[in-house]
Amino acid sequence: MAKCLLCDAAIEPFISFGKMPIANGFLHPKQFASEYFFELKVGVCEACGMVQLTERVDPEQLFHDNYAYFSSISTRMAAHFEQFAADVKSRYLVDEDPLVVEIGSNDGILLRHFAHAGVRHLGVEPSANVGEVARADGINTLCEFFDASVADNVVAEHGQADVVLATNVMCHIPDLHGVLEAVRILLKPGGVMIFEDPYLGDIVERTSYDQIYDEHFFYFSLSSVQQLLGRHGFELVDAEPQPVHGGSMRYTFAAQAERTVDDRVPRRLGEEQERGLARVETFEAFRAQVEQSRDALHALLAGVVEEGARVVGYGATSKSTTVTNYCGITPEMVEFVSDTTPAKQGMFTPGVHLPVRPYEEFVADYPDYALLFAWNHGDEILAKETAFREQGGKWIVYVPEVKVL
Ligand code: SAH
Ligand code: TMP
Ligand code: ZN
């Protein structure tokens, strides 16, 4: 029986996606034979409400000097983070000579707005290759996994932080107790931490099961976050939904009783309770939806391929590793996956081994169907790919439901 990573209670998984490779583990044919697999399954802890993976891959195997995800590849995310930085500056950087620390700063997509404005800042980023891109742009970056000893060193060298930021990284860290202990050391009295991650409510509502993969150890709700924070003397002071990554939540917390709690927090907690976001039955229903989505996508693809249509994947996302492996999407169905990230081009996708080709190959010879793996960037992509549709191309999407556009 698996145990909750946060409170040790026993957990029974409510869904298994079967054997899965590393979601960002793009590879060359000579590596196929030694590819690593684990069972991707998720459970909800009935004691603390945290939804989480019940079998896990060691983080050192996920985040390293060859990490495939470069945040700045998306202009939509770049704009989102520019706005976020402006909000943080106006709301929270009120003291003289403030310090901003970011956990999981990647290529500097967020921190650059502080660095370029002359704000004291530091990124903590264990994946050396992406951190190097940030450094080259003048962004102070430590190549480390964030923990209490890193926090001690930062405080010794730079003093405490006014604001700690973390986007799409808290759910990537199995030892959240260690992180919160470190934040306690790092944060100034009166300071805040703001973090943003895909929101469990949206995953369930939209059947976006592809948010589930090895790097996402946790699927947060306000109530599970609130319980966790309480164990470390923190409290949630705000929670604001964000449209990015298919539905995210931005959580702001501070030491207990230091700041006023926005009305949104109790209101949303009440909504979650009504929706049953901590109840096993909710997740049983989710599993049924996921299975239905898988069968529908497989049938649709098999049908168009049978008719002789060409299908190309759009965006070799980490999320699509769950979809392709779970739904059995093979190279016989999808000719290749188009992706703009140079590090992924020429490689093969994890598990099912679809070839990843440069975007130019998609444009040079439009397929009949493009399977939109990067659906979370859908607005941006559909807006820029008008020529594909004008020439008769069709999109296949699967979130929130399987359909042809
Ligand atoms: N913040 C960026 C990147 C998200 S990807 C964005 O929102 O786009 C997650 C990043 O967190 C990766 O770059 C990964 O290397 C980093 N990361 C993973 N575990 C970490 C840890 N324990 N401490 C700090 N960063 C971590
Ligand atoms: P993500 O879903 O994890 O953000 O990854 C997006 C992937 O999709 C990344 O590998 C880049 C790729 N991509 C494209 O190829 N074209 C695009 O227009 C966009 C927005 C992303
Ligand atoms: Zn628990």
164 and 135 within one domain: yes
214 and 79 within one domain: yes
Average pLDDT over residues 31-43: 97
61 pLDDT tier (thresholds 50, 70, 90): confident
Assigned domain for 98 exists = yes
C-alpha 181 – ligand 2 centre gap (Å): 34
48 and 9 within one domain: yes
Please tell me the predicted confidence (pLDDT) of residue 64.
Answer: 83
Asked if the model's pLDDT at residue 70 lies above 90, the reply is no
Assigned domain for 273 exists = no
pLDDT tens per residue, range 255-293: 999 999 999 999 999 999 999 998 899 999 999 999 999
C-alpha 200 – ligand 3 centre gap (Å): 16
pLDDT tens per residue, range 291-326: 999 999 999 999 999 999 999 999 999 999 999 999
pLDDT tens per residue, range 151-191: 999 999 999 999 999 999 999 999 999 999 999 999 999 99
Please tell me the predicted confidence (pLDDT) of residue 394.
Answer: 98
Q: What is the CATH number of the domain that holds 385?
A: 3.40.50.720
* Pocket perturbation via mutation, ligand 2, pick of 69, 73, 248 by most ligand atoms within 8 A of CB: 73
Asked if the model's pLDDT at residue 114 lies above 90, the reply is yes
77 and 50 within one domain: no
Please tell me the predicted confidence (pLDDT) of residue 188.
Answer: 97
Residues with CB under 6 A from ligand 2: 69, 73-74, 315-319, 339-341, 344, 359, 374, 376-377, 380-381
Mean per-residue pLDDT over the chain, rounded: 96
pLDDT tens per residue, range 368-400: 999 999 999 898 899 999 999 999 999 999 999
Residue nearest to atom 13 of ligand 2 (CA): 315
Q: Write the single-letter amino acid at 171.
A: C
Q: What is the number of structural domains in the chain? A: 3
Q: Where is the domain boundary, 209, 224, 257?
A: 257
C-alpha 31 – ligand 1 centre gap (Å): 25
For residue 301, give its domain range: 282-404
The fraction of the chain above a pLDDT of 70, given in percent, is 100
Residue pair 188/160 in contact by the 8 Å Cβ criterion = yes
Assigned domain for 264 exists = no
Ligand 2 atom closest to the CA of 74, numbered from 1 = 20
Indicate yes or no: pTM above 0.85.
yes
Asked if the model's pLDDT at residue 1 lies above 90, the reply is no
Assigned domain for 239 exists = yes
Q: Where is the domain boundary, 222, 257, 292?
A: 257
11 and 119 within one domain: no
Residue nearest to atom 13 of ligand 1 (CA): 106
49 and 83 within one domain: no
What value, to the nearest 5°, has the Cα angle with vertex 140 and ends 68 and 85? 80
Average pLDDT over residues 228-257: 97
Residue nearest to atom 26 of ligand 1 (CA): 104
Asked if the model's pLDDT at residue 30 lies above 90, the reply is yes
Q: What is the CATH number of the domain that holds 196?
A: 3.40.50.150
Average pLDDT over residues 226-232: 98
Ligand 2 atom closest to the CA of 314, numbered from 1 = 15
200 pLDDT tier (thresholds 50, 70, 90): very high
Residue pair 338/358 in contact by the 8 Å Cβ criterion = yes
